[in-house]
A = this chain, B = another copy of it.
């Protein structure tokens, strides 16, 4: 059955669902296509897999091409393989989602691509099956954010607990009880409080915190598991 000759090859693409967080809003980085097919329509950022790179590498390259960023949190979530999902040639696409702290990215993008941050609840219709991809990516993000400390990728190095709460409210689309949310955070000793306050939102000021990944690694080795739900 599985002989290598005479098999049909297909195009393989990666598409990136790029999440950003800014001013309490969860956003998606979308492009308006300036190439055929479907020129001018909204779409995810994607590209074809090259012979010399892995899927993960391809996703990182595509992301770098659009944002100029490297070292970004990037996770594959699913392959999409319906026969007619794409126009033109048959293409299998592998979906990746990225989490980036939006403040770092504003400037350099849009240079080569017509890229825009779009609030998650105002996503326009997308080409092909890209809307399905977004839905699947969001499901995965919600799951990961509850069980692993990936949310911090969307925040600046220093953040307040209120910002963190806003982030989770944005990810899940529900309000969260501040008291209960903060109690869970209080037990995470890998959240380090800095000697510095953010006073932009209140007179009292909110402490800045920092996620200490080595601390988390240690806690994990000791059997602690991250859990943060709405």
Contact = CB atoms under 8 A, between A and B. Distances in A.
Number of copies: 2
B50 A79 contact: no
Given A78-B76, A79-B55, A83-B52, A13 B8 contact: no
B48 A8 contact: yes
A3 B7 CA distance: 23
Contact of A7 (B1, B7, B11, B80): B11
B81 A94 contact: yes
Contacts of A47: 1-2
Contacts of A48: 2, 7-8
Interface residues of A, number: 38
Contacts of A35: 1-3
A60 to B, nearest CB: 12
A90 B3 contact: no
A56 B92 CA distance: 12
Contacts of A11: 4, 7, 9
A81 B2 contact: no
Contacts of A4: 11, 88-89
Contacts of A195: none
A41 interface: no
Contacts of A53: 83
Interface of A: 1-4, 7-13, 35-36, 46-56, 58, 65, 76, 78-83, 88-90, 92, 94
